[in-house]
């Protein structure tokens, strides 16, 4: 099955007949969600054509067909954009993941101090961080540069579940965002985490898609205690992201961040 087909099938299983104005019918349904023929009928496409899409035998549907499927499957904006990207396929040769942080983003890492900040690739490899960022994720400094990845830290570092108080939500968001990254840049990481983490494997199979944006995160740092922080994300043209964690000025978390910054200074 193609990735387009996998995504369509995962979303079809989450929409019931009643959600699109169809009767449930008699008897027990063997599969969750809409049947293929039901989805095709409501979307206005032939059953045979939809089956070809889901089986990967037709991978270039029109924008109108995609929009009809997105409407029936009740996709949000991130999911709709992902559906269109999957249908477009790769444009030209695969682009390698960035290996060096952009100079301007490196400069911003220092500008935003004492706020912890990171420069990430589309697949969440950490290209650069400021001292506060390295200190915030307790134990991250133990890993060599090539191993530092936010998603890997969340699922594989023994300190992650203690440091990240909102671990379940963070884990869900990390995996959902990883789905938006170019597959050729994330295949090795996905294979590694599927092999060692049942939780990651389950979330990956669930196929949530979500572009990361600003949100609230809570950390419990062993040196400075609780940190209630708001993350902001700046994405530039080549997919690199600047992620900054800020505290409300004058709050206990702002005081804790000041202490974290002092401890992080060389």
pLDDT tens across 3-47, in order? 999 999 999 999 988 888 888 766 667 777 899 999 999 999 999
Q: Tokens 């307790």 identify what position?
A: 138
Instruction: List, for residues 187-232, the tens digit of each pLDDT value.
Output: 999 999 999 999 999 999 999 999 888 789 999 999 999 999 999 9
Give the mean model confidence (pLDDT) for residues 46-69: 91
CB 115 within 8 A of CB 245: yes
- What radius of gyration, in Å, describes the C-alpha atoms of the chain? 21
Give residue 2's pLDDT. 87
* Mean pLDDT computed over every residue of the chain: 92
Q: Where in the chain are all domains bearing CATH 1.10.260.40?
A: 3-88
Give the mean model confidence (pLDDT) for residues 146-155: 97
Residues 6+ apart with CB under 8 A from 13: 31, 32, 33, 34
CB 125 within 8 A of CB 152: no
Give residue 27's pLDDT. 61
Alpha-carbon span 221 to 248, nearest angstrom? 17
Other Cβ atoms closer than 10 A to 6? 15
Alpha-carbon span 94 to 137, nearest angstrom? 32
Exposure letters 102-116 (e unless 16+ CB within 10 A, then b): beebbebbeebbbbb
Between 116 and 215, the more confident residue is 116
pLDDT surpassing 80 at residue 91: no
Residues 6+ apart with CB under 8 A from 166: 217, 218
Q: Where in the chain are all domains bearing CATH 3.30.450.180?
A: 103-264
Q: Which pTM does this prediction carry?
A: 0.90
Q: What is the CATH topology of the domain spanning 3-88?
A: 434 Repressor (Amino-terminal Domain) (1.10.260)
Please identify, in words, the CATH class of the domain defined by 103-264: alpha beta
Surface-to-core class of residue 262, CB atoms within 10 Å of its CB (0-12 exposed, 13-18 middle, 19+ buried): exposed
Give residue 263's pLDDT. 87
Residues 6+ apart with CB under 8 A from 187: none
Q: Which two tokens stand for residue 9?
A: 């099938």
């Amino acid at each position: 099955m193609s990735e387009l087909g996998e995504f369509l099938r995962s979303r079809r299983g989450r929409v019931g007949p009643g959600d699109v104005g169809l009767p449930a019918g008699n008897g027990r349904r063997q599969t969750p969600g809409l049947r293929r023929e039901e989805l095709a009928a409501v979307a206005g496409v032939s059953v045979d054509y939809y089956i070809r899409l889901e089986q990967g035998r037709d991978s270039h549907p029109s924008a109108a067909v995609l929009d009809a499927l997105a409407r029936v499957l009740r996709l949000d904006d991130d999911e709709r954009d992902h559906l269109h990207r999957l249908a477009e396929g790769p444009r030209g040769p695969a682009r390698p993941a960035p290996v060096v942080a952009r100079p301007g983003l490196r400069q911003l890492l220092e500008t935003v101090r004492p706020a912890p900040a990171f420069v990430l690739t589309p697949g969440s490899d950490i290209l650069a961080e400021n001292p506060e960022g390295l200190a915030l994720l307790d134990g991250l400094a133990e890993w060599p540069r090539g191993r530092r990845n936010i998603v890997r830290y969340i699922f594989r570092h023994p300190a992650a579940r203690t440091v990240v108080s909102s671990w379940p939500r963070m884990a869900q968001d990390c995996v959902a965002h990883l789905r938006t990254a170019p597959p050729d840049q994330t295949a090795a990481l996905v294979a590694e985490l599927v092999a060692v983490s049942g939780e990651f494997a389950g979330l990956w199979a669930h196929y949530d898609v979500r572009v990361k944006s600003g949100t609230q995160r809570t950390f419990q740092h062993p040196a400075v205690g609780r940190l209630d922080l708001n993350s902001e994300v700046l994405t530039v043209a080549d997919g690199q992201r600047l992620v900054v964690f800020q505290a409300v000025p004058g709050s206990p978390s702002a005081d804790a961040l000041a202490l974290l910054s002092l401890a992080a200074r060389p």
